[in-house]
Homo-oligomer: A and B are copies of this chain.
Amino acid sequence: MSDAQMYLVEVEKKLVQAVSDYTNEERLAESMHYSIAAGGKRIRPLLLLSTVLLFQETIPSAAVDTAAALEMIHTYSLIHDDLPAMDDDDLRRGKPTNHKVFGEDMAILAGDALLTLAFQVVAMADLDATSLVELIRLLAETAGPKGMVAGQVADMRAEKRQVDQIELQAIHERKTGELIRFALLAGGIIGKAPKEDYVALDRLARKIGLAFQIRDDVLDVISTTAELGKTAHRDEVLEKSTYPKLLGLNEAKAALAQELQDATAILTLLAQKGYTITPLQRIIEQLALKEEA
Contact = CB atoms under 8 A, between A and B. Distances in A.
A145 B115 contact: no
Contact of A105 (B86, B105, B119, B129): B86
A140 B153 contact: no
B144 A120 contact: yes
B157 A27 contact: yes
Contacts of A22: 141, 144-146
A219 to B, nearest CB: 25
Contacts of A139: 119
Nearest to A29: B145
A265 interface: no
A3 interface: no
A72 B140 CA distance: 14
Nearest to A139: B119
A153 B123 contact: no
A80 interface: yes
A83 B124 CA distance: 32
Interface stretch (A90-98, A106-114, A180-188, A231-239): A106-114
A143 to B, nearest CB: 5
B144 A116 contact: yes
Interface stretch (A49-57, A130-138, A189-197, A278-286): A130-138
A32 interface: yes
B83 A108 contact: yes
Nearest to A80: B108
Given A108-B80, A108-B86, A137 B113 contact: no
Contact of A149 (B116, B137, B174): B116
Contact of A145 (B23, B143, B174): B23
A85 interface: yes
Contacts of A28: 145, 149-150, 153
17 contacts: A19-B145, A23-B145, A24-B174, A25-B154, A28-B150, A32-B145, A76-B112, A80-B112, A86-B105, A106-B156, A108-B108, A112-B115, A115-B116, A119-B139, A120-B136, A123-B136, A136-B136
Interface of A: 19, 22-25, 27-29, 32, 76, 80, 83, 85-86, 103-106, 108-109, 111-113, 115-117, 119-120, 123-124, 128-130, 132-133, 136-137, 139-141, 143-146, 149-150, 152-154, 156-157, 174
Sorted nearest first, the 7 A-B pairs with minimum C-beta distance are A120-B140, A85-B104, A116-B144, A129-B129, A113-B145, A123-B137, A23-B145
